[in-house]
């Protein structure tokens, strides 16, 4: 029996992202994936040289790292998972102003637009507060709720930092108010018919 061994020098550079998990059979080796490539890494090297990231999907969204985000999506990481602050990946993408990341998250059929974190903020609150009008517009086009208040009783409109975001939110709230009045009139008309 003849075995061929190949030794490859592994070099990691700053900000090199590898998703790792211990092997069930042999805990001295971890299975690692990066940019679609998979391999084994000695567990002691991982423990000594690598920073652990608890919520890789959230980190990808915070940094606007599309390849990392795509890798998380390919691995079926839950798109609506919450971090320690109760925030979603969409919240962090909006907070960071990463339009392309937000658009990629919108391709997921079950994306939750209106999830409130522990402070009561939504992705819309974050985008409005940070002044990202393009992202506010994307969220409103996906019918993000404008009536949700955070723990300080503030709407996204109350948190805006620029005129463009304020204009978009006021316009949407005007539309929402008209629809609410229209629904109320329909209700009254039903009552009158009795």
Q: What is the CATH number of the domain that holds 114?
A: 1.25.40.20
Q: Which of 38, 83, 39 is nearest to 57 (CA)?
A: 83
Do 46 and 65 fall into the same domain? Answer: no
Do 77 and 131 fall into the same domain? Answer: yes
DSSP E strand stretches across 11-167:
19-22, 29-34, 37-42
Do 42 and 11 fall into the same domain? Answer: yes
Do 20 and 75 fall into the same domain? Answer: no
pTM, 2 dp:
0.71
Residue 192 covered by a domain: no
Dump pLDDT digits (tens) for 87-113.
999 999 999 999 999 999 999 999 999
CB atoms within 10 A of CB 52: 8
Do 70 and 33 fall into the same domain? Answer: no
40 three-state secondary structure: strand
Residue 92 covered by a domain: yes
The domain of 147 spans 55-161
Neighbouring residues of 55: CB distance < 8 A, sequence distance ≥ 6: 81, 83, 84
Do 86 and 125 fall into the same domain? Answer: yes
Do 70 and 88 fall into the same domain? Answer: yes
Dump pLDDT digits (tens) for 2-19.
544 444 455 555 455 556
Do 59 and 152 fall into the same domain? Answer: yes
- State the total domains in the chain: 2
Dump pLDDT digits (tens) for 132-172.
999 999 999 999 999 999 999 999 999 999 999 999 999 99
Do 90 and 20 fall into the same domain? Answer: no
pLDDT for the residue numbered 181: 43
Dump pLDDT digits (tens) for 31-86.
776 666 777 777 777 666 666 677 888 999 999 999 889 988 988 888 999 999 99
Do 63 and 153 fall into the same domain? Answer: yes
Distance in angstroms (rounded) separating the CA atoms of residues 176 and 178: 5
pLDDT for the residue numbered 18: 59
Distance in angstroms (rounded) separating the CA atoms of residues 128 and 158: 9
């Amino acid at each position: 029996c003849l075995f061929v061994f190949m030794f490859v020098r592994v070099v990691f550079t700053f900000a090199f992202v590898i998703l790792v998990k211990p092997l069930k059979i042999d805990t001295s080796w971890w299975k690692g994936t990066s940019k679609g490539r998979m391999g084994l890494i000695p567990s002691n090297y991982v423990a000594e040289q690598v920073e652990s990231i608890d919520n890789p999907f959230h980190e990808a969204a915070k940094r606007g790292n599309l390849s990392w985000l795509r890798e998380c999506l390919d691995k079926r990481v839950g798109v609506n998972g919450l971090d320690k602050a109760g925030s979603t990946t969409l919240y962090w993408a909006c907070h960071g102003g990463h339009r392309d990341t937000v658009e990629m998250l919108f391709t997921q059929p079950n994306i939750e637009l209106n999830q409130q974190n522990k402070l009561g903020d939504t992705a819309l609150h974050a985008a409005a507060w940070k002044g990202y009008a393009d992202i506010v517009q994307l969220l409103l086009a996906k019918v993000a709720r404008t009536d949700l208040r955070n723990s300080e009783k503030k709407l996204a409109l109350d948190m805006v930092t620029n005129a463009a975001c304020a204009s978009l939110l006021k316009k949407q709230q005007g539309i929402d108010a008209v629809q609410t009045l229209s629904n109320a009139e329909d209700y009254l008309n039903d009552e009158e018919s009795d």
